Amino acid sequence: MSIKLQKNAKIILSILFIFIGLFLLTYNYFGSIKSEVFNEKNIELLEQNVVLPEEVKNVDENDSANEVVTTTEVSNNGYIGYLDVPSVNIKRGFTSLDSEYNKLNYNIILVGGSTMPDVKNGNLILAGHNGTSKVGFFRNLYKLSDGAHAYVTYNGKVYDYLYKEQYNVPKVGTINIKRNADATTLTLITCHRTDESLQVVYLFELVNVSDEN
């Protein structure tokens, strides 16, 4: 009996080693392909993990589908900058991280780990609710198309960003942002329109800076 058990154990170990070998070969193969793709495009991938202080949601109100969302005056809510995405009719101010109005039920929010637009190769990260309610500021982001621009007004300058891509991530409290390390980036985050278990990350890259009129 012991000889049979030893033989079975050797067979199981052999199979296990074969699977481990195949896994390592596959991992290295796809890793090399990924590196080649980024090398061909001359793009260095940067991954950044951020924590959302609040959960972005689809916030709907039966009687609010036709509400017009207006931007509150800076003097009232202490905005330090404005986001404007003309192609999808989004315009809203954002406050500093420590402001009492940096909350989703008031505004789009500045996410910890962000840098301001004037930081080269930095990443300004803003989040907002989806949905038809008056706080669903990012309800139209899903309409973004190639060639769309987003503008951030900050400290007397207007930063012009070009829409690059979007991807879904699960709602687990943190978000892994994957972006071009050599680009100054704007990241917008909101809830998926039809799947409450997902969030959508929209990436833009800076293409121009001008003086505010």
Q: From first to last of its 213 residues, what are the pLDDT tens digits of the chain?
A: 555 545 555 566 566 555 555 444 444 443 443 344 344 445 677 888 888 877 777 777 653 433 434 344 444 558 999 999 999 999 999 999 999 999 998 889 999 999 999 999 999 999 999 988 888 899 999 999 999 999 999 999 999 999 999 999 998 888 899 999 999 999 999 999 899 899 999 999 999 999 998
Same-domain status, 57 and 12: no
Domain range spanning residue 127? 44-211
Q: Quote the CA–CA distance of 134 and 70 in Å, as a whole number.
A: 9
pTM of the model as a whole: 0.74
Nearest in space to 189 (alpha carbons), one of 118, 132, 119, 111: 111
Provide the domain count of the chain.
Answer: 2
- Looking up residue 179, the CATH number of its domain turns out to be 2.40.260.10
Q: Quote the CA–CA distance of 138 and 191 in Å, as a whole number.
A: 9
Same-domain status, 64 and 7: no
- Phi first, then psi: what are they for 39, rounded to 5°? -65, -40
Asked if 169 contacts 185 with a C-beta cutoff of 8 angstroms, the reply is: no
Same-domain status, 55 and 77: yes
Same-domain status, 38 and 141: no
Same-domain status, 100 and 165: yes
Same-domain status, 139 and 73: yes
Same-domain status, 59 and 101: yes
Same-domain status, 17 and 69: no
